[in-house]
Amino acid sequence: MERTVKIGIIGVGNMGSAHAKSILAGNIKGMELAAVCDIAAPKRRWAEENLPGVPCFEDYKEMIDSGLCTAILVATPHYLHSPIAIYGFEKGLDVLSEKPAGVYTKQVEEMNEAAKRSGKVFGIMYNQRTNPKFQKMREIVQSGELGELKRCVWIITNWYRTQAYYDSGTWRATWAGEGGGVLINQCPHNLDLWQWIFGMPNKISAHCKYGRWHNIEVEDEVTAYAEYPNGATGVFITTTGECPGTNRLEITGDKGKLVWEDGKLTHWALETPEREFCFTCKEGFAQPKMTVTEIETDNIELGHNGILQNFTNAILYGEPLLAPGYEGINGLNISNAIHLSDWTGKPQEVPVDKELFLSLLNERRATSHVKEAVDEGKIADLSGTYNDRWKVR
């Protein structure tokens, strides 16, 4: 009999419900929706109505202990990702976590250690790694084709959100419920791609604005400056309060430049490396000769289903993971360093001081206000679909 991955989804809100419907529809070869779980009664009612025949639990431990599942997908609020994953690993299950890996690096280190001890497959839902343009950027950078790296600039200001969005969940946009704002909710994909393509910085200075554009207690505007061991720098600018927004990723090296914007990838290739040209050219205003190419890619972006299929294939056939769960700590280190730099008013080393970050985060959690209830009649349904809100547009 052909083997299948029997997956249980914990959390059937925005993304969990979409994953559940996709798996139930048979979109993932070799994966079967074995069970779902949610602490909220309305979400369980949704599951019972929309996922016929799929067992539904209120307690994730009960679901894991039921023996129905060989793997779990964690799609809960952020603070719960790590403890649920750890419990899954301890029970011998493979684990796929939604982004982010967690809220603070100390928590995620514990999750990574549990994964290592278990020897099970551990993935994270970094679906943007399936984008062929980003894959090509990584290939060009990693191959050395751009030469010595100089600068990475990402302006990602088209994460626009209304107040209704923030009012759509009791845990949203609170230190106690979500652990941050645009950095921890919208930008984990961007922060992951930044380090996946360009590499990890070793120092970050940043400024954040909290509730500048919305009635929220967490950040909705961020400007960060990063430094690298070789002298390269990075700039990251994001907000959920700007419309129309911009999404432009620019990477510069000694031998050229890459720009991704509006779904197009453009490559400037210098005939002579800039550093060599700078000190050998006898003309003050000259520039190296260059070729400009718009790079086309044949394959399509597989998105969430691509990660689900890859996770399944890793379990069944040993296929390498495109987004290993262990790498979730990288983008989180950048996010934590940005917050910590703003909180302390000082540049922060990366990896971040995990104890200091947790201490200052806990101060904010202690005075945080998680909304007691949501008036569901005043907001649109955000569940059950893969749509443009979840893309790095």
Q: How confident is the model over 96-120, as pLDDT tens digits?
A: 999 999 999 999 999 999 999 999 9
pLDDT for residue 370 is more than 70: yes
How far, in Å, CA of 338 to CA of 352, rounded?
A: 9
pLDDT over 70 percentage in the chain: 94
Residue 168's pLDDT is what?
87
Ramachandran assignment for 231, one of left (phi > 0), alpha (psi -120 to 50 degrees), beta (any other)? left
Which tens digits make up the pLDDT trace of 159-170?
999 999 999 888
The residue whose two tokens read 């969990």 is 16
Which tens digits make up the pLDDT trace of 128-139?
999 999 999 999
Residues of the chain with CATH 3.40.50.720: 5-126+302-324
- Interstrand relation of 149-156 and 247-253 (parallel, antiparallel or unpaired): antiparallel
Kindly report whether the peptide bond that precedes residue 351 is cis, defined as omega within 30 degrees of 0: yes
pLDDT for residue 384 is more than 70: no
Distances (CA, A) of 268 to 220, 263, 296, 361, 368: 34, 17, 14, 43, 48
Residue 299's pLDDT is what?
74
Neighbours of 261 (CB within 10 A): 13
Span 20-48, mean pLDDT? 97
Closest CA to 35 of 66, 4, 14: 66
How far, in Å, CA of 131 to CA of 128, rounded?
A: 5
Residue 183's pLDDT is what?
98
Lowest-confidence region among 72-86, 120-134, 370-384: 370-384
Backbone φ, ψ for residue 31 (5° rounding): -115, 135
Q: Sorting pLDDT into bands at 50, 70 and 90, what band is 377? A: very low
Residue 380's pLDDT is what?
42
Architecture of domain 129-298+331-371: 2-Layer Sandwich (3.30)
How far, in Å, CA of 269 to CA of 256, rounded?
A: 5
Q: Sorting pLDDT into bands at 50, 70 and 90, what band is 14? A: confident
Q: Is 104 helix (H, G, I), strand (E, B) or coil?
A: coil
Which tens digits make up the pLDDT trace of 249-263?
999 999 999 999 999
pLDDT for residue 379 is more than 60: no
Binning the chain into helix, strand and coil, the percentages to the nearest 5 are 35, 20, 40
Residue 385's pLDDT is what?
53
Give the fold, CATH level 3, of 5-126+302-324. Answer: Rossmann fold (3.40.50)
How far, in Å, CA of 31 to CA of 316, rounded?
A: 10
How far, in Å, CA of 46 to CA of 252, rounded?
A: 48
Under 8 Å between Cβ of 201 and 234: yes
How far, in Å, CA of 85 to CA of 91, rounded?
A: 10
Which amino acid is residue 55, in one-letter code?
Answer: P
pLDDT for residue 392 is more than 80: no
Residue 358's pLDDT is what?
98
